[in-house]
Structure formats: C-alpha cells, structure tokens
C-alpha cells in the first residue's frame, strides 16, 4: 500500500501543481482543505458564510471545523490520499493522526523555499477551477490571456491571492510550521525537498519519497 502523503509548505510553493501530477502518475486521491472550504463558500452553505471573512483575511479556520470537513470527504481505507493544506498547526497534525490516519503508513513532504520570493509568485497566480490547471502570469502564462489552455474557461485570481492577504498567510505559515516539522521529524516520516528547483526536479524527488 502506498503511504498516505501529507504535503507541507507555504502557499505558492507548488504543492497544488505537484499534487495534480501525483494523482495522475501514482493514482492518489487529492484532498485540499482550501478547495473544500472554497467549495462551501461557492455553495453559499452556512459553513461557507461563517468562514468567508476568515479566509479573505488569510487567517486560519477553526481546527475542528476543518477536521470535520476533511473527515466527511475522505476515507483512507479506500484510497491513498494526498493531504494538501492540512495540517496547518501542531494541533491539526495530532488531529490528523488521531482521527484520520489512525496509524496508517504516511510520509510528510515539506516543500522548502525562501519565503521572500513567494509574495510575487502567489500574487501572479491564476487558477482554472474546473480543469485544476494553475498558471503564473510571469513563469507560466496562459496562451490566451485570461483563459485556460486546456478547457478554455475563464481563469480566476483568488481573492486571498492579493499581496496584502498573501503577506498575512505567509506570516501565519512562519508562525506555525516549525513544530509541525518537528512532529513529523520525530516520527521519522519527514522528507524535505528543495522547492526552488524546477517542477520536474521537485516531482522526481516526490517520486523517490513515495517509493522509498
């Protein structure tokens, strides 16, 4: 059985891009708590209404709320999952182990990068919600401005991808990541990957981590 994968890294480190390739090439299921929360906002559910202003500011939603949403959307006895965006603090690492993984084999992959380059990277990010393609106006622009190369749909600029919110999201990340890394290091399942290299090189390292 393939290990359950926990992707760790600041926003904009390429977790989403890598997750898409891991799904395509290794047959994983991908679960992103950010996507689930944005789905609730798009549906206009009570939960969506409650979390919208928190997400727009770049702050963290309540741990139990996100855990429930996660648990309602994954079943690790059926598939190997990529957990993307969860855990965001040490309490969530413990909740993930206790309520979701329950001792299942897992690997935590940390996408390590100098945080200073991320504000520019994220504020230039554009996303195609249906195809899941992720563009960057500087490094990977779409062929036709504002449209997805694959599906032709309109690209969106996430509301929380604006410079001010990005700075707060990075601040939140900096304040929470160290104990999370210690937690997985202590369990002997942490793999650190230099995320400043090309997506190809990063993916090769991810493959080694999955197979090791």
Nearer to ligand AMP, 44 or 188 (CB): 44
Distance CA(38)–CA(46), nearest Å, equals: 13
Interface pick for ligand AMP out of 88, 107, 125, 126 (rule CB under 6 A): 88
E strand map for 63-140? 81-84, 106-112, 125-127, 134-136
Interface pick for ligand AMP out of 108, 169, 190, 206 (rule CB under 6 A): 169
Nearer to ligand AMP, 60 or 137 (CB): 60
Region binding ligand AMP by CB under 6 A among candidate stretches 53-61, 101-109, 110-118, 127-135: 53-61
Pick the catalytic residue: 15, 38, 121, 205?
A: 15
Other Cβ atoms less than 10 A from the Cβ of 148: the count is: 21
**43 Cβ partners below 8 Å, 6+ apart?**
none
Nearer to ligand AMP, 59 or 153 (CB): 59
To the query of whether residue 121 is one of the catalytic residues in this protein, the response is no
Q: Which of residues 22-51 bind ligand AMP (CB under 6 A)?
A: 33-34, 37
And the tokens for 82?
Answer: 């990529």
């Amino acid at each position: 059985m393939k290990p359950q994968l926990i992707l760790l890294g600041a926003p904009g480190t390429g977790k989403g891009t890598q997750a898409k390739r891991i799904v395509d090439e290794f047959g994983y299921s991908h679960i992103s708590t950010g996507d689930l929360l944005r789905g609730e906002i798009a549906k206009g559910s009570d939960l969506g209404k409650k979390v919208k202003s928190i997400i727009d500011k770049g702050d963290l939603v309540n741990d139990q709320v996100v855990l429930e949403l996660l648990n309602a959307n994954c079943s690790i006895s059926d598939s190997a999952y990529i957990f993307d965006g969860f855990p965001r603090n040490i309490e969530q690492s413990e909740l993930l182990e206790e309520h979701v993984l329950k001792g299942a084999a897992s690997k935590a992959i940390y996408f390590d990068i100098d945080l200073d380059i991320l504000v520019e990277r994220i504020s230039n990010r554009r996303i195609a919600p249906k195809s899941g393609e992720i563009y960057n106006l500087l490094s990977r622009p779409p062929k036709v401005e504002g449209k997805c190369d694959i599906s032709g749909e309109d690209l969106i600029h996430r509301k929380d991808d604006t410079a001010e919110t990005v700075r707060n999201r990075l601040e939140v990340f900096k304040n929470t990541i160290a104990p999370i890394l210690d937690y997985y290091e202590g369990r002997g399942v942490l793999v650190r990957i230099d995320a400043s290299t090309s997506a190809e090189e990063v993916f090769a390292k991810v493959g080694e981590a999955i197979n090791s």
